[in-house]
């Protein structure tokens, strides 16, 4: 037997309440607008003048707030000064600088960087600012500045490692493994160190290191490396002989490895040949004035592969 389901219709009372609410909201808005209009007509100000008045109040509030913040900042500074004075009276005054970890760096240069912190309260010392100042020294790779109570500033230095000598116009400069300048060096002190030259060579020091690492047996024999045309290297050995390498990271490394293999078999370094040229793939050209005078051209067994 079929049943009929009847949906419950919206109650009349609910609809009536909703209409009453809407009507009350409209009436409230009308009364509020009427009241504002009535007040505006009674006040001796125009609407533009009232807007200007409120803007002036906002600006005055901002000025008072700025004055309050400035006063608080001054109070903070005053409190900081009082704390520093109490620290000095208590014996916590920077009266000593302890520099550690220096070998090549002149400690007086470090003292100059932190001299401004002496005779100040330990609480008033900006350690980060002191470290930033010390880091500007050429020899400093890293540094840590700390307080050692009651009155010692400790500066721990990590020095850069001398690696090679860079030839610059009119001078020689000691550099580290990244090409960073350390200090000028005399020709006498530069003897025995790898000499690097050529425009743009300073930015290629790390690449040169990787190249020489490809042939460890050859590396100790290299006295000078010249960066030629901003594209390739000429190596001069301690024997005075010169090796011209090709362009490109891979090609130059392969050529140097081949030369090391040839030298191991034929002892090229220290021989009569004054220059080797490996810029042509698969070939090695040798210049030997002494051999030409003897009409005896140099022979190398096993050319480069």
Contacts of 227 (CB under 8 A, 6+ apart): 196, 197, 198, 199, 200, 201, 204, 208, 233
CA distances (Å), origin 86, targets 7, 46, 123, 126: 85, 60, 10, 18
Q: Which residues pair with 167 in a beta bridge?
A: 172
pLDDT for 12 equals: 56
pLDDT for 100 equals: 93
- Helix (H) or strand (E) segment spanning residue 182: strand 181-184
Per-residue pLDDT of the chain (305 residues; tens, 9 = 90+): 455 545 544 555 666 665 666 666 565 555 555 655 655 566 565 666 666 666 677 777 776 776 666 555 555 555 555 545 554 555 567 778 899 999 999 998 998 888 766 666 777 788 898 999 999 999 999 999 998 888 888 999 999 999 999 999 999 999 999 999 999 999 999 999 999 999 999 999 999 999 999 999 999 999 999 999 999 999 999 999 999 999 999 999 999 999 999 999 999 999 999 999 999 988 999 998 877 666 665 655 555 55
The token pair at 135 is 């880091």
Task: Report phi then psi at 50, rounded to 5.
Answer: -65, -40
pLDDT for 1 equals: 47
What class is the 164-293 domain? alpha beta
What CATH number was assigned to the domain covering residues 96-159? 3.10.20.310
CA distances (Å), origin 220, targets 89, 110, 236: 61, 35, 11
Distance CA 139, CA 154 (A): 18
Q: Are strands 195-197 and 181-184 parallel, antiparallel or unpaired?
A: unpaired
């Amino acid at each position: 037997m079929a049943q009929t389901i009847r949906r419950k219709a919206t109650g009349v009372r609910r609809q009536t309440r909703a209409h009453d609410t809407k009507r009350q909201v409209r009436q409230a808005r009308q009364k509020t607008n009427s009241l504002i209009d009535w007040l505006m007509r009674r006040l001796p100000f125009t609407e533009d003048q009232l807007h200007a008045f409120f803007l002036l109040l906002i600006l005055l509030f901002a000025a008072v707030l700025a004055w309050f913040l400035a006063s608080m900042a001054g109070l903070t500074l005053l409190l900081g000064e009082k704390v520093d004075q109490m620290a000095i009276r208590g014996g916590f005054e920077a009266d000593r600088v302890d520099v550690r970890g220096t070998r090549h760096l002149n400690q007086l240069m470090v003292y100059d960087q932190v001299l401004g912190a002496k005779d100040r309260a330990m609480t008033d010392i900006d350690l980060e600012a002191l470290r930033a100042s010390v880091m500007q020294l050429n020899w400093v790779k890293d540094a840590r500045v700390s307080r050692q109570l009651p009155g010692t500033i400790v500066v721990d230095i990590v020095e850069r490692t001398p690696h090679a000598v860079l030839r610059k116009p009119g001078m020689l400069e000691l550099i580290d493994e990244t090409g960073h300048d350390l200090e000028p060096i005399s020709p006498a002190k530069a003897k025995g160190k790898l000499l690097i030259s050529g425009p743009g060579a300073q930015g290629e020091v790390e690449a040169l290191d990787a190249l020489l690492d490809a042939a460890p047996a050859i590396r100790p024999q290299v006295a000078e490396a010249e960066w030629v045309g901003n594209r390739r290297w000429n190596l001069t050995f301690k024997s005075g002989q010169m090796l011209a390498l090709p362009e490109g990271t891979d090609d130059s490394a392969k050529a140097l490895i081949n030369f090391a293999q040839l030298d191991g078999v034929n002892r090229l370094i220290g021989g009569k040949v004054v220059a080797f040229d490996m810029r042509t793939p698969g070939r090695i050209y040798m210049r030997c004035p002494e051999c030409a005078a003897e009409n005896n051209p140099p022979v190398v067994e096993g050319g480069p592969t």
